[in-house]
Amino acid sequence: MDIFEHLIKGNLFGLVDNSDGETMPHNIGMHITLLFLMALTCLSSVISFTRCQDVSISDAQGAANPEKNPTSKENEILDFYAFGADLHGNSIVALRAGGFVTFGGKLIEVMPWHVSYWPSQNIWIVSLVNVSRYDFFIINLYLDGSFDGTPSDGFWIYEYAFGTNQWVGPMVGTQRLNYTTVKTPSIAMPKIELFPYAKVWNALRASGPSFSVDAQRGYLTWDNKNLTLHPILNLINITDADNTWHELWALLIDPVDNGHYFTIFYMCPPDTGHVKGWFMLRLDDYMLLMPPTYTIDAQWNYVAENRQGGGDATYEDTARRFDVELLTFVESIAIIAIIILTALITSMHLHSRLE
């Protein structure tokens, strides 16, 4: 029975049979929420079809100008689907062909790029991404077999522009993971023009022949590339049963071809002489690089320092203010442009009446 048969029979909406053989929703709120998700699913199908047409047009145009319309790579993942919503109006509609996340009033188109298993928690994690010209989102969706409102039902969403990583949930809805390997589609990609800088005062310092990072910057030598490193998130003391580790999320830039890469470095307290690396995702075209895990020879330590009074201590706050001020400036320009355009139209209308 496929997903559309479930929709027809009402199983996706949490309906149950009563004694008269009729179906009744568990509650009206869940019913309305999931009807909304069904509408989003239909919208997703339409947009996916339109997107495929756009990619075809882009391919045709790319024959004349291959750099004009880049497209994403096709990554192999496990087939899945997930439809869910929380009580705050946030939701997710995602399949292997893509989908949408609504969060904080934003509608964010997402594409899956990796599926991994967390043994101790018995959950699968679907990693999704959204890249725009000046920003990107990394979403980690938890799949444990259901969206029934338990605390672990939801997803983490990281936004580069503001350096925030927030939990969304618990959710109600439906989800499923199929243990079959499928390919994600190729979609049109924007030309990235990120303003790269540290989004966090990095407390995870490391130094080695091919990898080094301090409070605000670093480098990674990999595959004959010398990548500049910008710390964007610290996750400290992540616990898993008796194991504990730290995570450093990073944006890497290739100064030669201006490629943009996202990756996570893991640092385990028992081993301060090595850093574990994870998949590297090229944000420009969603290409997955490196093996699942690799080891870097580097000494690392945790530095919980006082940020007051240092020469670079206000760097992150200044950068965040730059983000906000830039957005405010752009909005102001847009408002001024609308006012000028309205004045011109009014003036032309009055002039035509006078004539």
Name which of 146-160, 242-256, 306-320 the model is least confident about: 306-320
pLDDT-derived band at 332, boundaries 50, 70, 90: low
130 and 222 within one domain:
no
Query: What is the structure's pLDDT at 94?
Result: 97
Of 302, 329, 347, the position where a domain reaches its end is 302
**For the chain, what percent of residues have pLDDT higher than 90?**
57
Tens-place pLDDT, residues 333-342: 656 666 676 6
User: Domain for residue 198, yes or no?
Assistant: no
46 and 23 within one domain:
yes
Query: What is the structure's pLDDT at 340?
Result: 72
Q: How many CA atoms lie within 13 A of 329 on its CB side?
A: 6
154 and 108 within one domain:
yes
pLDDT at 293 over 90: no
337 and 281 within one domain:
no
pLDDT-derived band at 70, boundaries 50, 70, 90: confident
What is the residue-averaged pLDDT of the chain? 79
User: Domain for residue 159, yes or no?
Assistant: yes
User: Domain for residue 199, yes or no?
Assistant: no
**CA–CA gap between residue 191 and residue 301 (Å, rounded):** 37
Of 183, 218, 236, the position where a domain reaches its end is 183
327 and 264 within one domain:
no
Tens-place pLDDT, residues 74-120: 999 999 999 999 999 999 999 999 999 999 999 999 999 999 999 88
Among 210, 219, 232, smallest CA distance to 283 is for 232
Higher-pLDDT residue of 180 and 353 is 180
Higher-pLDDT residue of 105 and 228 is 228
137 and 29 within one domain:
yes
Query: What is the structure's pLDDT at 272?
Result: 96
Residue 86's SS3 state is coil
Show the domain range for 345.
310-355
209 and 175 within one domain:
no
317 and 268 within one domain:
no
170 and 24 within one domain:
yes
User: What are the CA-CA distances from residue 35 to residues 42, 84, 88, 257, 273 (Å)?
Assistant: 11, 11, 16, 46, 53
Look at the chain and report how many structural domains it folds into. 3
**CA–CA gap between residue 134 and residue 195 (Å, rounded):** 7
**CA–CA gap between residue 94 and residue 139 (Å, rounded):** 11
SS3 content of the chain, % helix, strand, coil (to 5): 25, 40, 35
Query: What is the structure's pLDDT at 120?
Result: 85
pLDDT-derived band at 283, boundaries 50, 70, 90: very high
Query: What is the structure's pLDDT at 263?
Result: 97
Q: Record the pTM.
A: 0.72
97 and 243 within one domain:
no
User: Domain for residue 188, yes or no?
Assistant: no
pLDDT at 308 over 60: no
Among 249, 293, 242, smallest CA distance to 137 is for 249
Among 131, 95, 92, smallest CA distance to 112 is for 95
Residues in the chain: 355
Amino acid (one-letter) located at 96: R
**CA–CA gap between residue 181 and residue 201 (Å, rounded):** 39
User: Domain for residue 279, yes or no?
Assistant: yes
Name which of 23-27, 73-77, 87-91, 349-353 the model is least confident about: 23-27
Query: What is the structure's pLDDT at 223?
Result: 85
pLDDT at 198 over 60: yes
User: Domain for residue 196, yes or no?
Assistant: no
Name which of 3-17, 60-74, 194-208 the model is least confident about: 3-17
User: Domain for residue 257, yes or no?
Assistant: yes
137 and 53 within one domain:
yes
pLDDT at 56 over 90: no
Query: What is the structure's pLDDT at 101?
Result: 97
Query: What is the structure's pLDDT at 121?
Result: 87
Higher-pLDDT residue of 260 and 331 is 260
237 and 150 within one domain:
no
Tens-place pLDDT, residues 128-157: 999 999 999 999 999 998 899 999 999 999
Query: What is the structure's pLDDT at 315?
Result: 43
**For the chain, what percent of residues have pLDDT higher than 70?**
67
User: Domain for residue 337, yes or no?
Assistant: yes
Higher-pLDDT residue of 342 and 306 is 342
Query: What is the structure's pLDDT at 309?
Result: 35
